[in-house]
Structure 1
């Protein structure tokens, strides 16, 4: 495995939902505008952190998941 998960289970669902909302707002709400495409791209990255359970920014900050007892 190239990475170690650093996103909690509940946070995965929040990231997936937030990514979907950003994609929809960027592509539908700001149709044809460059800032809309930028928001949609950030939404894709946010959703990908939820899909893989790994966030590079959290890894740089040193975030680790607690071990389950």
Structure 2
């Protein structure tokens, strides 16, 4: 199945940066905090959706890119 990108370029960059920050937090605090596991998973999902350009939750809500822009 081919997915149509539904995340604009500026948001893709933000998602990748925030995902990298969350993954870095998880790596630093892995044995110290239980929140690190959640941050790692959340960061991986954010970074992946930013790299691919498709967000399943946005698609379920009907979000589409503006074709004119």
Please report the TM-score for the alignment, with normalisation by the length of structure 1. Answer: 0.88
**What runs of 5+ residues in structure 1 fail to find an aligned partner?**
none
Partner of 2:30: 31
Tell me the matched-pair count: 68
Please report the TM-score for the alignment, with normalisation by the length of structure 2. Answer: 0.88
SS in 1 for 2:49: helix
Post-superposition shift, 1:68? 2.5
RMSD between aligned residues:
1.4
- Greater displacement, 7-16 / 35-44: 35-44
Runs of 4+ with deviation above 6 angstroms: none
**What runs of 5+ residues in structure 2 fail to find an aligned partner?**
none
